[in-house]
Each structure stands twice: as C-alpha cells, then as structure tokens.
DNA sequence: CCCCTATCCTGAGGGC
DNA sequence: TGCCCTCAGGATAGGG
C-alpha cells in the first residue's frame, strides 16, 4: 500500500542509484503490467537509454530518459522497485529487469499486478491519461490553504472519500488519511461541506505534517512495502489509528472505532475526533 | 452528485 | 497439516 511517503522514499533511493545510468538487457515478465504502448515497445524504448531524472507526482514515479521518453511507474498495492546486484535471485513476481551500468539491476516486482508501467513522451502520456487528474501536492511549497479549502467545500462526500480521490489532493491513501484526520481531530466519516473553517485548517496542517514525518521514517511497512534496497520503513511504530481498531486511543484511552468509509476500512477515536 | 459494489490479483490468516 | 473462505486495497467502471 505505497502512498506518498513510501513513493517519495523510493524516488529518493532511486535517484542515487539510477541517475546518469545507461539501461541495458531489458527483460519483461507478465505483459499485463506494461500498459502502454506494449511490453515489446517498452523493452525497445528503454534499451540503451540513459536516465536523466527521477521525480514523483502523487503516487506516480516518473523516470525521464535521454531519449525524450518518460517511464511512468505506479506501484499499485504490492509493487516494488528494487535495486539489487545483477544476478541476484529473481523473485516469483518479477516483471521487469534492467541492467544498470554500475553493475546492478533495477527490478519491478508485483505479486498482485495492480501496479503498472508506461513509457512515452510527455505528450503521449498526457494524451492517454497515464496520470489522470492529479490534484494538489501536499508536500509542495505551493500547497495552498485556499485551494485545499476549495477541494473540501465543493463536495458533500465524506472526508475519507474526498481525500482518497487523487484529483483533489494527490498522494494520500488509506493509512495517512486516517492518521491526518486523527491529528486534526476530525472524523473521516464527516461530510466535507459541513466541516468548519477551523477543521479544514486543522486538516490542511495535519496532512503535510503526517506525510513529512512518515518520509523522515522512510515510510510505513505494514506488510509489503520496501524501499529500493528492500529495507522496511519504520513509521508503522508511529501510527496512531490505522490498524488499531478496537484498541485504546493512545491519547485518551477510548476504544478506537473501526468502520467503512469511502469503501475503505476506517479507524478513528470517537472521543478525540468530532 | 453521491454511494456502494465489482473488478483486477495474490497471500495472509482464521476456522474447521 | 491442509483446505477453503474471507479480507486487504489503488484505481476505475458501472449501477442504484
């Protein structure tokens, strides 16, 4: 379940490993992962190119190549981008292997294959909506209270549903939405248009706060997430509500309530959160 | 417009 | 020990 902090950790790790590297010996696995243009075209398009930059947009990883193409990777639920020594044992669900010119390999593996990989020029990727309608970047310098207010004020959905929608704020998922709502003391089941100005402000502050802390902890490894060196993140120890339904609130001791909102398991403290 | 559900998919965990 | 069922969920599509 990689969300913004996990993807950011991977992007930072990837930058040091692949920037400036030439890509060779490209091999692909299950074709369903390669959404555009085709597995064969992606192999041909990667072979012999050099990596210029690695960036993140929402939960998407964008690797810009000297060919003019961008490689876009979304990790879905269980996707991993790993850098290992060339010739290291190949996992069961490895779908992409690329040789780097410093003797290592970049690999993509994904048991559930919810992840996806696309390759094309920026114009191609825009046209096919490779990264559809991504909203505000909550860790960007220009993350703006007024724009965030507009996201919440224009809808009557539950807060959980609104924040899961990547077209409003991009990068949040189930874990960090519940955590941010706890910090902001607002129930994720609340209707957005009924939130007060103070509550919207509290969320505006809490979202970057929790994301930033999680990045410092190199992400949350609940069961599956690993960074590019296959190491776990430590933010799980800091989670206050996610995965803690039925257990006592760390702030007040009240039993945390677990429900479903926006189609997702949702946990909150009925005493701390209004 | 909003909600819920199904779909994709595998592995973990519980019940028996 | 092992089998079967359920559940987890990011994104998206479709029905109520």
Quick one: pLDDT band at residue A129, thresholds 50, 70, 90?
A: confident
Q: What percent of chain A has pLDDT over 90?
A: 81
Task: Report the pLDDT value the prediction gives residue A175, as an integer from 0 to 100.
Answer: 93
Asked whether strand B has any atom less than 7 Å from the CB of A92, the reply is yes
pLDDT in tens, A52-87: 999 999 999 999 999 999 999 999 989 999 999 998
Task: Report the pLDDT value the prediction gives residue A24, as an integer from 0 to 100.
Answer: 97
A257 bridge partner residues:
A268
Answer yes or no: is pLDDT of A263 > 90: no
Known active-site residue A264 = yes
Whole-number distance in Å between A104 CA and C10 C1'? 30
Whole-number distance in Å between A193 CA and C14 C1'? 26
Closest of A23, A71, A65, A30 to residue A47, by C-alpha: A23
Quick one: pLDDT band at residue A92, thresholds 50, 70, 90?
A: confident
Q: Which of A5, A17, A35, A59 is catalytic?
A: A59
Asked whether strand C has any atom less than 7 Å from the CB of A32, the reply is no
The answer for residues whose C-beta is within 8 angstroms of residue A67's C-beta and 6 or more apart is A45, A49
Asked whether strand B has any atom less than 7 Å from the CB of A229, the reply is no
Asked whether strand B has any atom less than 7 Å from the CB of A32, the reply is yes
Answer yes or no: is pLDDT of A1 > 80: no
Quick one: pLDDT band at residue A132, thresholds 50, 70, 90?
A: confident
Answer yes or no: is pLDDT of A10 > 90: yes
Known active-site residue A59 = yes
> Which nucleotide has its C1' atom closest to residue A113's CA?
B9
What is the phi/psi pair of residue A191, to 5°?
A: -80, 135
Chain C bases closer than 7 angstroms to a protein Cβ = 7-12
Whole-number distance in Å between A55 CA and C4 C1'? 44
Answer yes or no: is pLDDT of A152 > 90: yes
Whole-number distance in Å between A6 CA and C2 C1'? 36
Task: Report the pLDDT value the prediction gives residue A240, as an integer from 0 to 100.
Answer: 94
A167 in Cβ contact with A135 (< 8 Å)? yes
Both tokens assigned to A36: 């555009």
> Which nucleotide has its C1' atom closest to residue A58's CA?
C10
> Which nucleotide has its C1' atom closest to residue A164's CA?
C10
Asked whether strand C has any atom less than 7 Å from the CB of A116, the reply is no
Average pLDDT over residues A6-32: 95
pLDDT in tens, A139-148: 999 999 999 9
pLDDT in tens, A205-224: 999 999 999 999 999 988 78
Q: What is the DSSP letter of A128?
A: T
Q: How far is A14 from A5, CA to CA, in rounded Å?
A: 14
Chain B bases closer than 7 angstroms to a protein Cβ = 1-6, 8-12
User: How buried is residue A271: exposed, middle or buried, by Cβ count under 10 Å (0-12/13-18/19+)?
Assistant: middle
Whole-number distance in Å between A112 CA and B8 C1'? 9
Task: Report the pLDDT value the prediction gives residue A54, as an integer from 0 to 100.
Answer: 96
């Amino acid at each position: 379940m990689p969300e913004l902090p996990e993807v950011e950790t991977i992007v930072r790790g990837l930058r040091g490993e692949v920037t400036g590297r030439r890509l060779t010996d490209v091999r692909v696995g299950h074709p369903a992962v390669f959404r555009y243009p085709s597995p064969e075209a992606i192999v041909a398009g990667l072979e012999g190119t050099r990596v210029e930059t690695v960036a993140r947009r929402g939960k998407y990883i964008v690797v810009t190549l000297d060919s003019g193409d961008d490689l876009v990777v979304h990790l879905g639920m269980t996707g991993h981008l790993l850098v290992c020594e060339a010739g290291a044992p190949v996992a069961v669900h490895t779908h992409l292997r690329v040789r780097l010119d410093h003797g290592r390999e970049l690999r993509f593996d994904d048991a559930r294959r919810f992840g996806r990989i696309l390759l094309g020029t920026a114009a191609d990727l825009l046209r096919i909506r490779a990264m559809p309608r991504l909203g505000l970047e909550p860790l960007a310098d220009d993350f703006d209270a007024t724009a965030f207010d507009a996201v919440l004020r224009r809808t009557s959905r539950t807060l959980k549903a609104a924040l899961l929608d990547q077209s409003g704020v991009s990068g949040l998922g189930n874990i960090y939405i519940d955590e941010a709502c706890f910090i902001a003391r607002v129930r994720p089941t609340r209707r957005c248009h009924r939130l007060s100005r103070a509550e919207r402000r509290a969320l505006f502050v809490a979202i970057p706060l929790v994301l930033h802390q999680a990045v410092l902890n190199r992400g949350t490894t609940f069961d599956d997430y690993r960074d590019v060196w296959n190491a776990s993140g430590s933010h799980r120890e800091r989670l206050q509500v996610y995965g803690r339904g039925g257990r006592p609130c760390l702030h007040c001791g009240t039993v945390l309530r677990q429900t479903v909102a926006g189609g997702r398991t949702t946990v909150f403290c009925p005493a701390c959160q209004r």
